[in-house]
Amino acid sequence: MSEYTADNIRVLKGLEGVRMRPAMYVQGGTGVDGYHQLLTEIIDNAIDEALAGFATTVQVSLLPDGSARVRDDGRGIPVDVMEDEGRPALEVIFTELHAGGKFDSNAYKVSGGLHGVGSSVVNALSTFLEAEVVKDGTRYKLRFDEGAVTHPVEAVGSAPKKEHGSTVTFQPDASIFKDVDGFEYDRIRRRLRELAFLTGGVKIELEDLRYDEPKRETFLERGGVAAYADALAGGSARLYDAPVHLAATTVVEQDGVEHEVEVEVGLVHTSSYGQEIVAYANMITNRDGGTHQTGFKTAYTRVLNQYAKTKKLVKQGDVQPTGEDFLEGIHCVISVKLGDPQFESQAKVKLLNPEAQTAVARVVGDKLGEHLEEHPKVGKVIIEKAAQAAKAREAAKKARELVRRANPLDNDELPGKLADCSSGDPSVSEIYIVEGDSAGGSAKQGRERRFQAILPLRGKILNVERAQMNKVLQNAEIRAMIGAIGAGIEGTGGERQFDLEAVRYHRIIIMTDADVDGSHIRTLLLTFFYRFMRPLIDEGYLFIAQPPLYGIREGRKKDLLYLFDDEALETYHREHKGKSYEVQRFKGLGEMNPEQLWETTMNPETRVLKRVTVEDALEASEVFEMLMGSEVPPRRAFIEDNAHVAELDV
């Protein structure tokens, strides 16, 4: 055995630990998520200045050398020497893990970054970082290389008295983020647009200077979360003229301590059947909601129940609406700002503060009641919509009972057309949802039975974006998917919710033909999963298979070379002129024999799968509403803007 002595013990100084174990400090590790998290940390610091009332503009620039720059016109990071440290505060903030103004309630009442590790971690994981501060008529600069100070804080010139703020420029270290190609404009754009809604009045500028033609956008949303809710509703028909805006700051006593909580809620109801509630605490997305969302639902249901009873808007003998019925067709944004947010995990997906629940319930209870009294049409159409939802829920319940009575063996059991796998371990099991019986037959013969299940679908499934719940549950293909996956669905009026723990396969793979019909079926399936099984997407369980479009047989060779798109075929043509080869076009999965389907699309060693992700609820909602909703003009405009001339696939 090798000796284990004091010589084997190593103490990591300063930021060494961050560079050695970045995944401990950055959500997303050294992948593309972690890479962008660095920029998010610096942006959040600038936004915190705006939240505190000291900054009006935040500018984000993507620079030609791969670095990023964030500038704000706030107070400017302190540059004076900290007595305990003997160094300027500007240097300490970027070199000490737990240093920052977020720990001093006098500096920041509300902040997203409460752990004080943001700026220093960004510095540790960057090739270089430069900070420039303008305060009191003087311009200061500081530079780090790989986390170490190379140019200490120094005054580099004067500045106009009215000028103030901070600028941070950094370049993520390519030796740490090895497999990342650079900042993604669309990803950054989505976050900045979201922040513009949540800050309501702060101007956020984004510029991309990496190409010959610079790209610039400005986000300024004075409508706040009400405008955000309206944007979430996309092209769906509104039930009333303007979104509802509920806002107030309230003081809540919790365990003998007074907490000041700022509450802002925006909501709009549409003719759609789903519900969309997005919750934030200090502008951090809480994917799983939390106490603020619970507070909203409790007060919202109470107020509407009371309003319906007082105004006698639900007929005696009719099905009484539940809380879920009142939420049908809602698009809602809840934003709270509080001093010390507590989250369920480091990922901050769920807020835990009990004072947030009390505050939201109080504000919504007071303000929504006032709004309905002042706008009786709004209350009337919401109650009418809920009453219709209640009737549909009752019809759906009867439809389910009818299915149970007609064929009790099929109830909540595996559908007959499913060819299941032998493994009982969901973590290694996968199911292919296949277009058509022909392709389903090939897939069943070519699969690896130990862990691959096959569920063939006949034709195009129902467009759930336009259908009520009872119609959704009557669709045979949808019932087959629900039964095979085994976890129920969301949006069933509270009677049955989606249970992620009961999912039978951790890879659910949509496999459709590589043609127009296949694309349509894939979109219908994605709409269903997004609206009724959203946790599958959030957990990364949903995939799209990539079958080849062409097979190339060179000369007399028996084996085929597979190409996945037209661009690959054109490249092959260019590279193989005078040479003899034969091109086979696969119009459908059913044209492949079982061996070909396994080799190209199902073999884990050689296949290509695309994981379905929802980066942003706003963009996802807009796309699904536009493509699959009841409003024709937005869809027509999209087709006109994006259509390309192509050969008809007949």
User: What ranges do the domains of the chain cover?
Assistant: 16-219, 224-398
Cα 348 to Cα 351: distance, rounded to the nearest angstrom: 7
**What strand order describes the sheet that includes 430-435?**
452-457, 430-435, 507-511, 542-545, 609-611
Q: 252 is written with which tokens?
A: 């809540």
- Give 51's contacts (C-beta < 8 A, 6+ positions apart): 108, 110, 111, 199, 282, 283, 337
3-state SS assignment for residue 125 = coil
Asked if 324 is an active-site residue, the reply is no
Is a pLDDT exceeding 50 seen at residue 130? yes
Is a pLDDT exceeding 50 seen at residue 115? no
Among the listed residues 169, 142, 173, 138, the one whose alpha carbon sits nearest the alpha carbon of residue 62 = 169
Query: Which one-letter DSSP state was computed for residue 153?
Result: E
Out of 384, 394, 515, 591, the active site residue is 515
Is a pLDDT exceeding 60 seen at residue 616? no
Asked if 253 is an active-site residue, the reply is no
Q: Which of the four pLDDT bands, split at 50, 70 and 90, describes residue 582?
A: confident
* Cβ atoms of 483 and 414 closer than 8 Å: yes
Q: What's the rounded mean pLDDT across residues 411-432? A: 84
Characterise 348 by phi-psi region: left (phi > 0), alpha (psi -120 to 50), beta (else). Answer: left
pLDDT confidence of residue 109? 53
pLDDT confidence of residue 187? 92
Own/partner pairs, 135-139, CB within 8 angstroms, 24+ separation: 135/75, 135/76, 135/79, 135/164, 136/161, 137/161
Cα 63 to Cα 300: distance, rounded to the nearest angstrom: 46
3-state SS assignment for residue 511 = strand
CATH number listed for the domain at residues 224-398: 3.30.230.10
Percent of all residues in the chain with a pLDDT value above 90, rounded to a whole number: 48
Of 101-110, 289-298, 559-568, 620-629, where does the model show the most confidence? 289-298
Q: Which of the four pLDDT bands, split at 50, 70 and 90, describes residue 8?
A: low
Q: 507 is written with which tokens?
A: 């890879």
CA triplet 460, 466, 472: central angle to 5 degrees?
65
Q: What is the pTM of this model?
A: 0.72
Asked if 435 is an active-site residue, the reply is yes
Q: Which of the four pLDDT bands, split at 50, 70 and 90, describes residue 378?
A: very high
Cα 520 to Cα 533: distance, rounded to the nearest angstrom: 19
| 98 or 189: which leads in pLDDT | 189
Is a pLDDT exceeding 60 seen at residue 35? yes
Is a pLDDT exceeding 90 seen at residue 397? no
Is a pLDDT exceeding 60 seen at residue 117? no
Is a pLDDT exceeding 80 seen at residue 603? yes
| 584 or 155: which leads in pLDDT | 155
Q: What's the rounded mean pLDDT across residues 25-44? A: 87
3-state SS assignment for residue 155 = strand
Q: 83 is written with which tokens?
A: 């007595």
How long a stretch of residues is the chain?
650
Element (H, E) at 192: helix 185-199
3-state SS assignment for residue 415 = coil
Cα 596 to Cα 606: distance, rounded to the nearest angstrom: 12
Element (H, E) at 194: helix 185-199
**Cα–Cα distance list, 294 to 112, 163, 564, 622 (Å):** 21, 44, 47, 25
Out of 33, 517, 538, 631, the active site residue is 517
Angle, helix 224-232 to helix 185-199, in steps of 10 degrees = 130
Is a pLDDT exceeding 70 seen at residue 315? yes
Average confidence score pLDDT of the chain: 86
Out of 44, 72, 325, 513, the active site residue is 513
Q: What's the rounded mean pLDDT across residues 530-549? A: 89
Superfamily of segment(s) 16-219: Histidine kinase-like ATPase, C-terminal domain (3.30.565.10)
Q: What's the rounded mean pLDDT across residues 362-371? A: 97
Q: What's the rounded mean pLDDT across residues 193-199? A: 92
Out of 194, 264, 325, 435, the active site residue is 435
pLDDT confidence of residue 5? 61
Asked if 513 is an active-site residue, the reply is yes
Q: Which of the four pLDDT bands, split at 50, 70 and 90, describes residue 648?
A: very low
- Give 179's contacts (C-beta < 8 A, 6+ positions apart): 30, 31, 32
Q: Which of the four pLDDT bands, split at 50, 70 and 90, describes residue 399?
A: low
| 12 or 71: which leads in pLDDT | 71
Which stretches of 173-319 are assigned E, i.e. beta strand? 203-208, 215-219, 244-254, 257-269, 276-281, 284-285
Comparing 16-219 with 224-398, is the CATH topology the same? no
